[in-house]
Amino acid sequence: MGKLRVGIAGLGTVGGGLLKLFADPAARLNEKLELVAVSARNRSRDRGVDIGRYRWFDDPVELAAQPDVDVVVELIGGSDGPAKRTVETALQRGAHVVSANKALIAVHGVALAELSEAKGGKLLFEAAVGGGVPMVKALKESVAGCCASAVAGILNGTCNYILTEMESSGRSFEDVLADAQRLGYAEADPIMDVGGFDAAHKLTILSAIAFGARPDFEHVRIEGIERVSLIDIRMAGKLGFRIKLLAKGASTENGVEMHVRPALLAFDHPLANIGGSLNALVVDAEPAGQLTFIGRGAGAGPTAASVAADLIDLAEGRAGFAFGRPLAQLTSAPRATPVERGRYYLRLMVADRPGVVAAISDRLAHESISIESFLQMPAPEGPAVPIVLTTQTCPREAVEAAVAAMQALDVVVEPPYVMPVEVSGARWGRG
Amino acid sequence: MGKLRVGIAGLGTVGGGLLKLFADPAARLNEKLELVAVSARNRSRDRGVDIGRYRWFDDPVELAAQPDVDVVVELIGGSDGPAKRTVETALQRGAHVVSANKALIAVHGVALAELSEAKGGKLLFEAAVGGGVPMVKALKESVAGCCASAVAGILNGTCNYILTEMESSGRSFEDVLADAQRLGYAEADPIMDVGGFDAAHKLTILSAIAFGARPDFEHVRIEGIERVSLIDIRMAGKLGFRIKLLAKGASTENGVEMHVRPALLAFDHPLANIGGSLNALVVDAEPAGQLTFIGRGAGAGPTAASVAADLIDLAEGRAGFAFGRPLAQLTSAPRATPVERGRYYLRLMVADRPGVVAAISDRLAHESISIESFLQMPAPEGPAVPIVLTTQTCPREAVEAAVAAMQALDVVVEPPYVMPVEVSGARWGRG
C-alpha cells in the first residue's frame, strides 16, 4: 500500500507545527504518510520550513478537491466559510478529513459525520479539543466499554491563564487580559474565549462522544469569566476554593445537561490545580471509575501532535466513526431544564450601614437557604462594601429567588454575582 | 460479520468484573462480542453472575485451544505456568489474546508478540498496566506522532496505599502492611508489590512502547519500599516532599534507563498528590509536551473496563501491534550504566555525641557535595538519633562514596538510607 497523501489547509500556528513534524525525516508520520499540498492565505510568510516542495493552493477548497489528496487537514478555523467548504468538499469525494476546528465540529458535526458515513471518508478531530491531550480518543475508545455519567473539564487555556494570573499577581481581569492580548495568548476580540464559547464548542464535542448523543451546541448554557473579580478570587481562596471556568456535561434521566461557567473548586478537586494554559478533563464512568487527563491545551506542538496521532490512526486503519459510533446510534437528547441543586457562592456589594447583614440573611432564610460561611472584605476600596457568602446545599431556584429579593433592597448597590461551588469530581452536585 | 466469540480464562476479581459487564444487556461489549466459554480453578464459587450459560473448562489451555473461541482473555496471572501456556495456545492457532498479566508481558512479551505477528492473532494488554487508566493506548496511539523522552508513574496501588496511609495515620510500614493484608489490598506474600517487582513489570511494558524498544525487564533497577520509615515520611514532609514509589523510564543517548524506587517528590510534582490506590503516568513527549493520566489502578471494575476497551478495539478492527509497532522495528536498547546526577536525601542513624555533624559534613565535603537542607529529629525514640539531609545536585557516585565513608564512622550506627529527590516531571534530574 502506498503512503496516504496529505494536504494541509491553513498554515498558522498549528499548521506550522505540523509542517515541522513532516520536515523531520525521523518522524513516524513520514513512514506512512506524505505531505503533498498546502494552502494558506499568505504564501510568502516565513514559517521556518521550506514549503516550496509542496503543491501550493491559494484556495483551500481547491486543495480539498484534488483527487490525489487522500487526507485533508483543516486548520483554517471558524464554524462556517472556507473551513466548512473545505471539509465538505473533501468528504463529498470520499477523502478523509482531520480537523482542529472545534466550532465547525460543534455546530456542523452531525451534517459532516453524515457526509463521512455516506461517502466513506473518515472525519477525525482529536486536535479540536484539549490541544495535545487525547481526550477524544480516550472517550471514543478507552471508555468504550463503560457508561460515562459526567465529564468536567478546563478546556480554554486563555481563561485559565487569566484566572491563574489574577490569583498569582493580584491584577484585575482587564489588566491581565490586556497583557494576554499583547503576548498573543488572547485574541484581539476575546469574546470567544472569555465569553465561554470556545469551551462550549469543546464541551459539545466531548459530551456527544461521552454520552452517545448528537452534538447539541445550542443546548450548552454558557457564562463567561468577565464578571469574576479579584475580590471573588481572594475571598474564594480564604474559603478554600479556586475559581475556574468549568465545562461540565452530565447524562441524567432528563437527558444531557451542559454548562460552561465559572465555579468555585475545592483545593482538592482534581481540576483545582490545573494552572495557566493547561487543559484537563475528568471523566466519571462505570466501571472504570474517575479518570483524569492533563496536558498542554494549545500551541503549535501539542495541537500538531494530536493532528499527527489522527493521521497515523488513518494510515494504520484504526479510524472509526466521527463521534465513536454510527450517527444512527446517537440519541437525540431531550433538552429538559435541569433541576439544579448544590452549594453556591454569592458576592454582594452593599452600602456600609447597620442592618445590612440582617436584611440579606433574612432574604436567604425566607427561601430556606442556610449560610455555610460568610466573609466581609477586610479593607473596602469604595463606598460599597463587598460581602461574600456560601450557602449549604439548596435548589438553584431558591438562590435565584433570594438574589432577586436582595436586589430589591436599596442597600444592595449592584446585582449580586452567583457562582456554583464544586466539591468533588465530575458529577453534578445534587445535595 | 458475526460477533467475536470470547473465552475468559481466570474468574478472580477482574474476571468477575468482566462477567458483570457481559451480563449487562445494555453494555456496548455485547453489541459486537459474545461470551461463550469460561475457565477457572473453582467452578462452584459464587460470582454473583450465572456462569451456567457459558461452556466450562477446568483447564484454561483447553479453553484456549477451542477453534470457536476467537478471543481468549487471560486473567490467570503469573509470568509462567498455565497463564503462559494459555496465551501461547491461543496465539499459536491465530486467535486473539487480551491479557491483564503484566508479569507475562514484561518477561515473555517479545516471544508472544512474535507468535502474534507470525500467526495473525492480536495481543492486547491495556489492563496489565494502570488498571482502568488507558496508559498503553495513550502511548501506542496518542503519542504515536511524538518522540517520547521519559515516562514516570505511580504504578503499584499497594505501595501507594501503604505510603499514603503511613503519612496520614502515622503508623509504621509493618502495621499498615498487616492491615492491607487483612483488608485484601495486599497479598499474603507482599514481595511482588512492596519489593517493586510489580511496578517494574509495568514499567517494562510502558518503556517498551514509549521508546520503541524491546521490553527488557532484567534491565530495570528495582528497589522496594521496605526501608521507608515514618521518620523519612515526616522529615521529607518538613522539607516539602512526599515519598512515592516512582517507576521511571528514560530514553537517553546511552539507551533506555529504567528505575523503580522510592523517591522524594516536591509537593508540586504532578505525581505528588496521587494518593491511596490511584495510579498515574506522566509522559514527556515532543512536541505534545507533558501529559498526565490518572485513575484507579486496580480492582474489578477499572481493570475489567480496560479489558472491555481492548475487546471493543478487536471487534471494531482497531487492534494494532502488541508494542505499537512491528517487533522488527523495536530497538534493542543497549544496557549502559547510566551516569546519574541529581539531588539526594540521606537518613542516618547516629550516636548522639558531639562532633557527629562535623564528621558527616566532612565526608560530604570530601566528595564535593553541598548540603541543601539538614534536619535532626526533634524527639528521638532510642539511643540513636536520626539525622536527615538533602544534597544539592551532584553525581550519584559521589553520594555512594560519601555514604561508604560515613558507614565507616563508629558514630553511624546503621547503613545510611539514600533516596533521590525529584523536582520536576518525568525527565531525569540531571542537574
- pLDDT score recorded for residue B378: 65
CB contact under 8 A, B301 and A289: yes
Q: Are residues B213 and B287 in the same domain?
A: yes
Q: Are residues A35 and A174 in the same domain?
A: no
CB contact under 8 A, A302 and B287: yes
- pLDDT score recorded for residue A428: 39
- pLDDT score recorded for residue B185: 78
Judge whether B328 lies within some domain. Answer: no
pLDDT-derived band of residue A171, with 50, 70 and 90 as boundaries? very high
Number of structural domains (chain A) is 3
Q: Are residues A84 and A220 in the same domain?
A: no
Q: Are residues A265 and A146 in the same domain?
A: yes
Judge whether B403 lies within some domain. Answer: yes
**Which residues from A are below 8 Å from B17, CB to CB?**
287
- pLDDT score recorded for residue A426: 46
pLDDT-derived band of residue A388, with 50, 70 and 90 as boundaries? very high
Q: Are residues B267 and B172 in the same domain?
A: yes
Q: Tell me the percentage of chain A whose pLDDT exceeds 70.
A: 96
**Residue tagged active-site, from B84, B140, B202, B248:** B202
Instruction: Assess whether pLDDT exceeds 80 at residue A202.
Output: yes
Mean pLDDT score across all residues of chain A = 93
**What residue in B sits closest to A311 (Cα-Cα)?**
B145
CATH number at residue B404: 3.30.70.260
Minimal CA separation from A238 to chain B, in Å: 20
CATH number at residue A113: 3.40.50.720
User: Do A209 and A247 meet the contact criterion of CB atoms below 8 Å apart?
Assistant: no
- Of A381 and A117, more confident: A117
Last-in-domain residue among B128, B153, B186: B128
Judge whether A310 lies within some domain. Answer: no
- pLDDT score recorded for residue B340: 86
Q: Are residues B103 and B145 in the same domain?
A: no
Residue of B4, B142, B323 to mutate, interface with A, max A Cβ within 10 Å? B142
Judge whether B306 lies within some domain. Answer: no
Q: Are residues B260 and B198 in the same domain?
A: yes
CB contact under 8 A, A141 and B137: yes
Judge whether A317 lies within some domain. Answer: no
Q: Are residues B267 and B122 in the same domain?
A: no
- pLDDT score recorded for residue A186: 81
**Which residues from A are below 8 Å from B289, CB to CB?**
132, 295-296, 299, 301-302, 305
Instruction: Assess whether pLDDT exceeds 90 at residue A213.
Output: yes
Give per-residue pLDDT as tens, B46-102.
888 999 999 999 999 999 999 999 999 999 999 999 999 999 999 999 999 999 999
Q: Are residues B78 and B162 in the same domain?
A: no
- pLDDT score recorded for residue B429: 37
**Which residues from B are below 8 Å from A288, CB to CB?**
132, 295-296, 301-302, 305-306
CB contact under 8 A, B296 and A290: yes
Q: Are residues B268 and B219 in the same domain?
A: yes
Give per-residue pLDDT as tens, A395-412.
999 999 999 999 999 999
**Which residues from A are below 8 Å from B308, CB to CB?**
144-146
Q: Are residues B203 and B281 in the same domain?
A: yes
The domain containing residue A372 runs over which residues?
Answer: 341-421
Judge whether B157 lies within some domain. Answer: yes
- pLDDT score recorded for residue B430: 33
Instruction: Assess whether pLDDT exceeds 80 at residue B238.
Output: yes
CATH number at residue A254: 3.30.360.10
Size of interface A-B (CB pairs under 8 A): 156
**Which residues from A are below 8 Å from B270, CB to CB?**
294
CB contact under 8 A, B288 and A145: no
CB contact under 8 A, A309 and B142: yes
- Of A315 and A380, more confident: A315
- Of B186 and B408, more confident: B408
Last-in-domain residue among A128, A144, A176: A128
Last-in-domain residue among A266, A296, A326: A296
Minimal CA separation from B402 to chain A, in Å: 39
pLDDT-derived band of residue A336, with 50, 70 and 90 as boundaries? low
- pLDDT score recorded for residue B431: 27
**Which residues from B are below 8 Å from A275, CB to CB?**
none
Mean pLDDT score across all residues of chain B = 93
- Sequence-separated (6 or more) residues with CB below 8 Å from residue B225: B159, B162, B163, B173, B194, B196, B245, B262
Reduce the secondary structure of chain B to three states and give it as a string. Answer: CCCEEEEEECCCHHHHHHHHHHHCCCCCHHHHEEEEEEECCCCCCCCCCCCCCCEEECCHHHHHHCCCCCEEEECCCCCCCHHHHHHHHHHHCCCEEEECCHHHHHHHHHHHHHHHHHHCCCEECHHHCCCCCCHHHHHHHHCCCCEEEEEEEECCHHHHHHHHHHHHHCCCHHHHHHHHHHHCCCCCCCHHHHCCHHHHHHHHHHHHHHHCECCCHHHCEECCCCCCCHHHHHHHHHCCEEEEEEEEEEEECCEEEEEEEEEEEECCCCCCCCCCCEEEEEEEEECCEEEEEEEECCCHHHHHHHHHHHHHHHHCCCCCCCCCCCHHHCECCCCCCCCCEEEEEEEEEEECCCCHHHHHHHHHHHCCCCEEEEEECCCCCCCEEEEEEEECCEEHHHHHHHHHHHHCCCCECCCCEEEEEECCCCCCCCC
**Which residues from A are below 8 Å from B292, CB to CB?**
292-295
Instruction: Assess whether pLDDT exceeds 60 at residue B224.
Output: yes
Minimal CA separation from A218 to chain B, in Å: 28
pLDDT-derived band of residue B379, with 50, 70 and 90 as boundaries? low
Q: Are residues B82 and B205 in the same domain?
A: no
Give per-residue pLDDT as tens, A68-103.
999 999 999 999 999 999 999 999 999 999 999 999
Annotated active-site positions of A, please? Answer: 202
- pLDDT score recorded for residue B424: 65
CA pair distance A246, A259, nearest whole angstrom: 8
Nearest CB neighbour to A132, from listed B17, B289, B312: B289
Minimal CA separation from B306 to chain A, in Å: 7
Give per-residue pLDDT as tens, B95-112.
999 999 999 999 999 999
CB contact under 8 A, A292 and B295: yes
- pLDDT score recorded for residue A188: 82
- pLDDT score recorded for residue A377: 75
- Supply the pTM of this predicted model: 0.95
Judge whether A324 lies within some domain. Answer: no
Minimal CA separation from A47 to chain B, in Å: 17
CB contact under 8 A, B141 and A309: yes
Judge whether A183 lies within some domain. Answer: yes
Distance of CA B378 to the CA centre of its chain: 35
